[in-house]
């Protein structure tokens, strides 16, 4: 190991920053985050320093040896004058003051790691100055893996430290207790901002520990939106919950590439719904969620798009709430947002649409119960979910309610997925064009002049366009 990893307590201690440009400002901010009192020595300061929220002392001149008096460490960042940097570093080194010169590990006595800050948890990564880019890449990976609220969990755990020690004196048992706490429902409640639930679960765990029992695992349900299909559109939280679930109930719209990201040994239950073919009735799905959670399982209910946009997610959690089962809802990118973005069609645009309406084209007993008057409005985009089968009916109703037959329409089939196809036309013609294109769905219909922007803004491969 080339350097000793260590975390230095800088609270109320003096730190010197030599330099007045952006990097010196970043060092100042970092030292201030650790509670240091910072003096900046530089003839002039860049405007970046104006954004610092914590006060610092500015000496508007060049470095003098006396600046080192009482200082714990020095940051030097004057890349415009490497000789000056070397002189300051030498002087600091001569007085045994720790010195870091930005991007010059060779003349530094300490180097700055890349950090993942979930205070009080902080991960520091160093390549010993050899390959900072690799350290930064690793950091980026960790940023996506470590829950943003890990720090909150650490603080929460800290408030229970003494109590847990008192109730469980044995070190081994205590370690197992903390492992269960950090990998289970208590941690999830903290991550999802439900501190009261976390406290009550912690009380149950401690009560069980007193009588030498292990609290029965607490089941919970994660209602997670998996987005329109591209696995890269999953949220960090969705992925984390997918990787810790014991069982997953998934829809027809969730593709295999996404299911493969669920914990390998999780049980899979297919509850897909296709028109006329309901593998499991809604009531049965909700009941299954409740039963599995009551058995202590972490149940992932994975839905295409967003669970609260034409996803019946609300109905599923109503039963959970009534039965007192803990749950959390993770939003997903809805098909409307995903398809519009991947088709190059902005849903709103200052020159075209100031409103956007999502409606369902699913006909109940052949009837579409929509407020057509409200849909046929200027400067508005209408997105029709489940509108492929009823497309000609929807278009006819638009026309019957006064829509301009030349209004642009796009149908996005398998949006955000490798086989995405975008077929465009006008209200009067689109149904025929779509029929000829033999789209298979899932597909979404976008109506409005924003569709015309696609000519300029299309970027994602569209299999309906010839590849040149």
Binding site for ligand SAM (CB under 6 A): 228-229, 253, 303-306, 309-311, 334-335, 339, 385-386, 412, 414-417, 442-444
* Catalytic option among 273, 294, 379, 404: 273
Smallest distance, Å, CB 274 to ligand SAM? 10
Q: Residue 251 catalytic?
A: yes
What is the dihedral sign for C-alpha 175, 181, 183, 184? positive
Sheet containing strand 57-59, edge to edge, reads 57-59, 37-41, 14-18, 73-76, 98-101
Distance CA 20, CA 427 (A): 61
Closest Cα to residue 464, out of 373, 347, 357, 343?
343
How far is residue 236 from each of residues 198, 226, 227, 259, 342, measured CA to CA in Å?
Answer: 21, 11, 12, 15, 20
Largest CA distance in the chain: 87
229: which DSSP letter? S
Are residues 100 and 15 in contact, defined by beta-carbon separation less than 8 angstroms?
no
Question: By beta-carbon distance, which residue lies closest to ligand SAM?
Answer: 305
Angle (CA) 7-35-45 rounded to 5° is 110
CB 8, CB 25: distance < 8 Å: no
> Which of 219, 415 has the CB closer to ligand SAM?
415
Between 244 and 282, CB nearer to ligand SAM = 282
Minimum Å distance from CB 331 to ligand SAM?
9
Does 273 qualify as catalytic in the annotation?
A: yes
67, 251, 306, 413: the catalytic one is 251
Residues 6+ apart with CB under 8 A from 245: 222, 262, 263, 266, 298, 299, 300
Q: Please report how close the Cβ of residue 227 comes to ligand SAM at its closest, in angstroms.
A: 8
Distance CA 207, CA 236 (A): 33
DSSP string, 80-111: T-HHHHHHHHHHHHHTT-EEEETT-GGG-SS-
For residue 47, the 8-state DSSP code is: G
- Pick the closer one to ligand SAM by CB: 184 or 304: 304
CB 327 to ligand SAM: min, Å: 17
* Closest separation in Å from C-beta 314 to ligand SAM: 11
The distance of closest approach from Cβ of residue 305 to ligand SAM in the complex, given in angstroms and rounded to an integer, is 2
Q: Considering beta carbons, is residue 150 or 335 the nearer one to ligand SAM?
A: 335
Nearer to ligand SAM, 219 or 305 (CB): 305
Distance CA 247, CA 299 (A): 5
Minimal distance in Å, beta carbon 194 to ligand SAM?
A: 24
Cβ proximity to ligand SAM, 93 vs 441, nearer residue: 441
Closer to ligand SAM at the Cβ: 102 or 258? 258
The single-letter DSSP state of residue 227 is B
Catalytic annotation, residues: 251, 273
């Amino acid at each position: 190991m080339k350097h000793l990893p260590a975390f230095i307590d800088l609270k109320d201690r003096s730190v010197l920053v030599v330099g007045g440009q952006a990097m010196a400002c970043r060092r100042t901010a970092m030292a201030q985050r650790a509670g240091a009192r910072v003096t900046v020595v530089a003839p002039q300061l860049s405007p970046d320093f104006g954004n610092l929220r914590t006060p610092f002392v500015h000496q508007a001149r060049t470095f003098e040896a006396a600046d080192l008096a009482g200082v714990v460490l020095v940051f030097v960042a004057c890349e415009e004058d490497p000789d000056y940097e070397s002189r300051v570093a030498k002087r600091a080194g001569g007085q045994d003051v720790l010195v870091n010169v930005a991007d010059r590990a060779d003349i530094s006595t300490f180097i700055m790691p890349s950090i993942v800050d979930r205070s009080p948890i902080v991960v520091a990564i160093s390549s010993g100055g050899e390959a900072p880019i690799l350290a930064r890449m690793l950091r980026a990976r960790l940023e996506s893996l470590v829950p943003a609220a890990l720090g909150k969990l650490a603080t929460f755990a800290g408030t229970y430290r003494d109590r847990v020690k008192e109730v469980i004196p044995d070190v081994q048992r205590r370690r197992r207790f903390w492992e269960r706490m950090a990998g289970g429902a208590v941690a999830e409640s903290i991550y999802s901002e439900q501190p009261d639930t976390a406290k009550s679960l912690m009380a149950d765990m401690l009560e069980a520990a007193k009588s030498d029992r292990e609290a029965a695992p607490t089941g919970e349900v994660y209602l997670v939106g998996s987005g329109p299909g591209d696995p890269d559109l999953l949220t960090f939280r969705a992925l984390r919950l997918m990787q810790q679930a014991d069982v997953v109930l998934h829809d027809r719209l969730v593709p295999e590439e996404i299911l493969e990201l669920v914990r390998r040994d999780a049980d899979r239950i297919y509850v897909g719904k296709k028109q006329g073919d309901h593998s499991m009735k809604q009531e049965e799905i909700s009941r299954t969620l409740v039963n599995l959670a009551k058995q202590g399982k972490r149940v992932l209910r994975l839905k295409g798009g967003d669970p609260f946009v034409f996803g019946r997610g609300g109905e599923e959690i109503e039963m959970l709430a009534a039965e007192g089962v803990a749950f959390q809802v993770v939003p997903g990118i809805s098909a409307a947002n995903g398809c519009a973005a991947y088709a190059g069609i902005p849903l709103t645009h200052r020159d075209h649409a100031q409103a956007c309406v999502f409606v369902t084209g699913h006909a109940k007993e052949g009837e579409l119960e929509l407020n057509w008057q409200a849909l046929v409005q200027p400067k508005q985009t209408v997105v029709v979910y489940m509108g492929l089968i009823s497309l000609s009916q929807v278009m006819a109703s638009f026309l019957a309610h006064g829509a301009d037959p030349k209004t642009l329409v796009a149908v996005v089939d398998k949006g955000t997925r490798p086989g995405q196809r975008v077929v465009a036309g006008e209200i009067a013609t689109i149904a025929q064009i779509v029929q000829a294109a033999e789209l298979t769905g899932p597909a979404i219909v976008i109506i409005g002049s924003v569709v015309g922007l696609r000519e300029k803004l299309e970027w994602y491969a569209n299999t309906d366009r010839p590849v040149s």
